[in-house]
């Protein structure tokens, strides 16, 4: 396998949190990278990343950091992308590859078209569908992407070599790489990931704002803990996802509210047969749809 590994000379990682840190760890583990330059606004995460050996050097200025880069990976909250793209556009080497790990793809592509027009042949947007409810460099681990999907949404402008190189990078982490249309990606993720997070946040706020708040948390049943685990995810990351994938998320919430209204209607009508049917269909879909799938 060794000679099939990509060899990235100088990886510039803009954003050293859970995803960025795990990517650096995974690539270092298989010796697919020589040098990782971490970029973050906070010196504290930089020092921690250095101490943990996840990065080899630290820079606070993205525009300076990308000089001499072989590959640039943007792994910050989505709404920082336009500013970062502007900041790196001038110094980004003409042969450097660039990718990102953003959970929304159309927004990222629009920003790249606006601010990185000279680099579109080498900008391959990506999204590893992996994560935990923890955030920050301290939560990163090399195995995060193993047997997980990484979606790439290549641009028509991309060179084959650029797409192949970014694909190889993710394969080296143990991930399974898939190409997809960006609008389709955003629609699927709105329903399978963004909607569940919006629901989890809303449910926890429901209980937290209840007059019997303490009893609510005290008597919360087992399923509730799992259910709200994702409400511990990073608020800034999720704010940015909601704001950059607006239409697909609003459509998914709307669809969900209709399904909720089905249940309200059946309860109000005292229609036990309909309720049993809804619950049986959901159980069957869930049991079969997820059967044998890897769970993280």
Of residues 256-285, those binding a second copy (CB under 8 A): 256-257, 259-260, 262-264, 266-268, 270, 272, 275-276, 278-283, 285
- The mark string for 205-224 relative to a second copy (x by CB under 8 A, - otherwise) is xxxxxx-xx-xxxxxxxxxx
Nearest to a second copy of 14, 241 (CB atom)? 241
Tell me if 251 contacts a second copy by CB under 8 A. no
Q: How far is the CB of 133 from a second copy (least distance, A)?
A: 7
Residue 176's SS3 state is strand
| CA gap 22, 14 in Å, rounded | 13
Nearest to a second copy of 60, 277 (CB atom)? 277
Q: How far is the CB of 117 from a second copy (least distance, A)?
A: 26
| CA gap 97, 69 in Å, rounded | 8
Nearest to a second copy of 99, 244 (CB atom)? 244
- The mark string for 157-196 relative to a second copy (x by CB under 8 A, - otherwise) is ---------------------------x--xxx-xxx-xx
Q: How far is the CB of 102 from a second copy (least distance, A)?
A: 14
Q: Which stretch binds a second copy (CB under 8 A): 35-43, 65-73, 80-88, 202-210?
A: 202-210
Q: How far is the CB of 121 from a second copy (least distance, A)?
A: 27
221-247 burial string, b = 16+ CB within 10 Å, else e? eeeeeebbebbebbeebbebbbebbee
Residue 149 burial (C-beta neighbours within 10 Å; 0-12, 13-18, 19+): middle
User: How long a stretch of residues is the chain?
Assistant: 296
248-284 burial string, b = 16+ CB within 10 Å, else e? bbeebbeeeeeeeeeeeebeeeeeeeebeeeeeeeee
Cα dist from 222 to 42, 153, 205, 225, whole Å: 37, 38, 18, 6
- What's the per-residue H, E or C state across 116-136? CHHHHHHEECEEECCCCCCCC
Token couple for 131: 């994560």
Cβ–Cβ < 8 Å for 36, 18:
no
Question: If residue 276 lies in a helix (H) or strand (E), which one and from where to where?
Answer: helix 272-289
Nearest to a second copy of 160, 218 (CB atom)? 218
Tell me if 44 contacts a second copy by CB under 8 A. no
Q: Which stretch binds a second copy (CB under 8 A): 18-26, 68-76, 115-123, 242-250?
A: 242-250
CA dihedral 183→149→112→242, nearest 10 degrees, is 60
Cβ–Cβ < 8 Å for 54, 36:
yes
HSE-up (13 A, CA, CB side) for residue 111: 24
User: Which one among 46, 129, 147, 182 touches a second copy, defined by CB under 8 A?
Assistant: 129
Nearest to a second copy of 52, 216 (CB atom)? 216
User: Which one among 46, 131, 154, 182 touches a second copy, defined by CB under 8 A?
Assistant: 131
Q: How far is the CB of 175 from a second copy (least distance, A)?
A: 13
Number of residues that bind a second copy (CB under 8 A): 93
Of residues 55-114, those binding a second copy (CB under 8 A): 79
Nearest to a second copy of 95, 209 (CB atom)? 209
Tell me if 292 contacts a second copy by CB under 8 A. no
């Amino acid at each position: 396998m060794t000679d099939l590994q990509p060899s990235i000379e100088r990886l510039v990682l803009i954003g050293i949190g859970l995803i960025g840190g795990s990517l650096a760890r995974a690539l270092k583990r298989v010796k697919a990278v020589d040098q990782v330059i971490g970029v973050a606004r906070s010196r504290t995460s930089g020092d921690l990343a250095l101490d943990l050996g996840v990065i080899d050097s630290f820079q606070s200025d993205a525009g300076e950091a990308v000089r001499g880069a072989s590959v640039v990976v943007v792994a910050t909250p989505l709404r920082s992308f336009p500013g970062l793209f502007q900041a790196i556009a001038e110094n980004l080497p003409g042969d450097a590859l660039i990718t990102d790990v953003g959970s929304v793809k159309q927004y990222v592509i629009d920003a790249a078209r606006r601010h990185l027009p000279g680099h579109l042949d080498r900008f391959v947007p990506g999204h590893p569908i992996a994560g935990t409810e923890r955030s920050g460099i301290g939560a990163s681990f090399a195995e995060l992407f193993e047997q997980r999907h990484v979606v790439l949404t290549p641009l028509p402008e991309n060179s084959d070599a650029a797409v192949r190189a970014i694909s190889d990078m993710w394969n080296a982490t143990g991930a399974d790489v898939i190409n997809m249309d960006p609008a389709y990606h955003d629609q699927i993720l709105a329903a399978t990931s963004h909607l569940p997070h919006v629901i989890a946040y809303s449910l926890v706020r429901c209980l937290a704002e209840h007059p019997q708040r303490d009893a609510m948390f005290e008597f919360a049943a087992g399923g509730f803990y799992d259910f709200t685990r994702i409400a511990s995810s990073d608020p800034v990351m999720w704010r940015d996802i909601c704001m950059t994938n607006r239409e697909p998320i609003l459509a998914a919430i709307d669809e969900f509210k209709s399904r909720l209204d089905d249940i309200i209607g059946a309860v109000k009508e005292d229609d036990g047969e309909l309720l049993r049917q809804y619950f049986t269909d959901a159980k069957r879909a869930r049991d079969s749809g997820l059967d044998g799938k890897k769970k993280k």
